[in-house]
Amino acid sequence: MLSPNFLELPKAAAMTLLRLFFVAQCLFMAAASPVLAAPKAEPWQRWTAHDPASALVVDHGPWQRFLEAYVVGGDDGVNRVAYGRIPAKDKAVLEGYIDRLAAVPVSNLGRPEQLAFWINLYNALTLKVVLDHYPVASIRDIDISPGLLADGPWGKKLLEVERFPVSLDDIEHRILRPIWKDPRIHYVVNCAAISCPNLPATAFTAANAKALLNAAARAYVNHRRGASIDNGRLIVSSIYDWYMADFGGGVEGVLDHLRRYAEADLKARLRGITGIAGDVYDWALNEAR
C-alpha cells in the first residue's frame, strides 16, 4: 500500500513512485503464478507449406545417441537428464545436431518428417538452453525471453530455420499445436521440469511418431503427474488447465481424454468422477543426480 505521504510528493516524484509500485505489483503477480496465461495456438502460416511427395529423410541419429547416453529413467517413472555429467565434446555434438536441423529445407519435407523434425528440435533446443545456463534449479530461472515480465527462455529467438528466427514458443504454439491439432503433442515436447511429460528417450522419426505419441499419452495420464484420485477427488496436471482448449475445451473434454488413455485401474477409479478438484505442477529441473 502507498504511504499517505505519497500525496505530499512533487508530481514527478509521485509519478515515478507510481510506476515503480506498478512494476513491483506486476513482478509479485508473475512470481506468484506458475503461468500467467498459456499461449494460444495461432498458426504461423509460413510453416504450413509441405511436400506430400517428398522422399527427404532427416537424420536424427546424433539426437538418439545423445538421449541414450544422458536420459535416465527413474523408478518413479520420471525421465531425468544427467546435465551435470555431459562433457564439452557431447555438448558440441548437440549443438552440431541443432545446427544441421537449422539447415534442413523444412518446407520441402512431408508432414510426417516435419512432425519429427519440430518435436526433436524443440526438445534438443530446450536441453541446450538448460546446459547453456546450468546449474539452475528450474528452467523458469533462465529469464532470457524479451519483455519486462518475461518468464523463462520460451520467447527468445534461439535459431533461424529457412532464415526465419524461431523460438520455443513459436515451435510449440505457432507450429506444432495449430498445424497438427493433436493434444498428444503436449506429451512429447519437454520443458525440463519434473511435472512435465517425460523427455522421450527415443528420437522421433516419421516411422515411429504415432507409436511414440500414443505411448507418451498413456504414460503421462497413468502417472500421478497426469492424474491422481485420492478420497474421490481428482487432481490433474496443470497442463490440462493451461491448455484445456486442446483437450476438448472443458472439464468433460479433459475427463474424456483421460478415460481414453487410462489403463484399467485408473479407468475404474474415474467412473463416477464428474469434476476436477485441482491441478498441480512442479517446475523443479528434471535433473538426474
> What is the reported pTM?
0.88
pLDDT grade for 12, boundaries at 50, 70 and 90 = low
pLDDT at 123 exceeding the cut of 70: yes
Measure the CA–CA gap between 228 and 128, rounded to whole angstroms.
32
CA 215 to chain centre: 17
Tens digit of each residue's pLDDT (9 = 90 or more) over 190-201: 999 999 999 999
Tens digit of each residue's pLDDT (9 = 90 or more) over 77-102: 999 999 999 999 999 999 999 999 99
pLDDT at 23 exceeding the cut of 70: no
pLDDT at 34 exceeding the cut of 60: no
Give residue 81's pLDDT: 98
pLDDT grade for 142, boundaries at 50, 70 and 90 = very high
pLDDT at 108 exceeding the cut of 70: yes
Give residue 30's pLDDT: 41
Q: In the structure grid, which three cell numbers stand for residue 186, read together?
A: 503436449
Q: Which residues pair with 237 in a beta bridge?
A: 280
Tens digit of each residue's pLDDT (9 = 90 or more) over 241-288: 999 999 999 999 999 999 999 999 999 999 999 999 999 999 999 999
Give residue 11's pLDDT: 54
Number of other CB atoms surrounding residue 237 within 10 Å: 24
Measure the CA–CA gap between 285 and 283, rounded to whole angstroms.
6
Give residue 38's pLDDT: 83
Give residue 148's pLDDT: 84
Measure the CA–CA gap between 25 and 19, rounded to whole angstroms.
10
